[in-house]
A = this chain, B = another copy of it.
């Protein structure tokens, strides 16, 4: 889906002298580190990020950092836009929104300079992030990393403004939700980075939401496919697009906390050892979906109309020629209803449902998972309204009030609290 330049061969490694086999090999790889809005919420936190980047440089890495806008900067800018216009022009909204990340990067570069290291901030355009021309949801079509390579060769820490690029018509674009993660993964792929660290305000990926399941446990590693299912099913730590991009380019992701030195969760290729260890990685849930039931419209027409309206359809179920059930984000409700009206469809919508999913690569070799899940729900007196599955996921739509009890019961039924279920750390 994303076309990227072939990762550039790290020819600078050739100059490293060979060491005797028993000495530890020094690390001189490229590390991409991404910090989200809460990690750079104020100048104090920005300075802490600067220290962390300097430490990574001192440990021998070539460091490229991708920063988000500080705290609520982007929301504040969008609010300003809505003060001047009911429907802000998308090109201009991108021009406006792109400034937040530039502010973070310029400030971080200053802070690093004050720590006695060389740094340079680059806009998405200067970093060579080339996108298509779809404002607000642009896709990266190329990464031209010449300036980044030059700055790394000059021994600089490079700060790249996340979430943005320059279009093939030379306009500033933004990448949409989770765009800074996408920037980081795209750069890691283009630079052939050893790994891409995603710093966030949680410690990693958990077996369930800790607010719902107090015994939820941090996962040490999940596969790309599991992470895709977890992200699609409500785990908010990473956006789908960046995980897809990481999988396509085999970028090792490490989701970890800005506020601690502890390892977080590694997202990497599936490992044979993983399969032995755990049947289920986690239980996720979301309350932010509406379930639509549509009659009399062929699937091809229905979903091309929804795609044209930019509705992010999630689950799709069809059990006969006449009826199609699908779910879509609550936030896309207006667009969805307008598209259905334009089609002249007969339709109903349920906004009183939530979704619970269990995800795990182990499911592929353990056929009893679905049976156990349904039995667990049945014991609580819960009858799922819609069920969908993938090779590594089972999702059930059920009443909104039933969601949290279901998460807790499934988490316990699959033994996710137990330390013995813990994964091997693949870092």
Residue ranges of A at the interface with B (Cβ–Cβ < 8 Å): 43, 46-47, 50, 77, 80-81, 83-89, 91-93, 95-96, 98-99, 102-103, 105-111, 113-114, 119-121, 123, 126, 147, 170, 172
Q: How far is the CB of A50 from chain B (nearest CB, A)?
A: 8
Q: Which residues of B contact A89 (CB under 8 A)?
A: 109-110, 113, 119
The reply to whether A114 and B170 form a contact with Cβ atoms under 8 Å apart is no
Q: Which residues of B contact A126 (CB under 8 A)?
A: 170
Number of copies: 2
Q: Which residues of B contact A88 (CB under 8 A)?
A: 110
Q: Which residues of B contact A114 (CB under 8 A)?
A: 84-87
Q: Which residues of B contact A50 (CB under 8 A)?
A: 84
The reply to whether B83 and A106 form a contact with Cβ atoms under 8 Å apart is no
Q: How far is the CB of A54 from chain B (nearest CB, A)?
A: 13
Q: Which residues of B contact A46 (CB under 8 A)?
A: 84
Say which residue of B85, B87, B110, B172 sits within 8 Å of A93 (CB atoms): B110
Q: How far is the CB of A75 from chain B (nearest CB, A)?
A: 14
Question: Chain B CB within 10 Å — which of A83, A89, A95, A111 has the most?
Answer: A95
The reply to whether A47 and B96 form a contact with Cβ atoms under 8 Å apart is no
Q: Which residues of B contact A96 (CB under 8 A)?
A: 102-103, 106-107, 110
The reply to whether A85 and B99 form a contact with Cβ atoms under 8 Å apart is no
Question: Chain B CB within 10 Å — which of A96, A106, A119 has the most?
Answer: A106
| Chain A, interface SS category | helix
Bound CA span A171–B103, Å: 15
Q: Which residues of B contact A123 (CB under 8 A)?
A: 95, 172
- Given A99-B102, A103-B99: A92 touches B80 (CB 8 Å cut-off): no
Residue of B nearest to A111 (CB): B84
Q: Which residues of B contact A98 (CB under 8 A)?
A: 102
- Given A80-B43, A99-B99, A126-B170: A106 touches B86 (CB 8 Å cut-off): no
The reply to whether A121 and B95 form a contact with Cβ atoms under 8 Å apart is yes
Bound CA span A114–B92, Å: 12
Q: Which residues of B contact A109 (CB under 8 A)?
A: 89, 92, 95
- Given A113-B89, A114-B86: A80 touches B107 (CB 8 Å cut-off): yes
Q: Which residues of B contact A91 (CB under 8 A)?
A: 120
Q: Which residues of B contact A119 (CB under 8 A)?
A: 89, 92
Residue of B nearest to A118 (CB): B89
Residue of B nearest to A126 (CB): B170
- Mind listing 16 A-B residue pairs with CB under 8 Å? A77-B103, A80-B107, A84-B114, A85-B110, A86-B114, A89-B110, A92-B113, A92-B119, A95-B102, A95-B105, A95-B106, A96-B103, A96-B107, A96-B110, A98-B102, A99-B103
Bound CA span A50–B121, Å: 33
Bound CA span A119–B89, Å: 10
Q: How far is the CB of A87 from chain B (nearest CB, A)?
A: 8
The reply to whether B92 and A121 form a contact with Cβ atoms under 8 Å apart is yes
Q: How far is the CB of A139 from chain B (nearest CB, A)?
A: 22
Q: How far is the CB of A107 from chain B (nearest CB, A)?
A: 5
Q: Identify the 3 closest CB pairs spanning chains A and B, nearest first.
A: A99-B99, A96-B106, A85-B110
Q: Which residues of B contact A47 (CB under 8 A)?
A: 84
Q: Which residues of B contact A95 (CB under 8 A)?
A: 102, 105-106, 109, 121, 123
Further contacts, 5 of them, CB under 8 A, given A77-B103, A81-B110, A92-B119: A84-B111, A89-B109, A91-B120, A95-B109, A147-B170
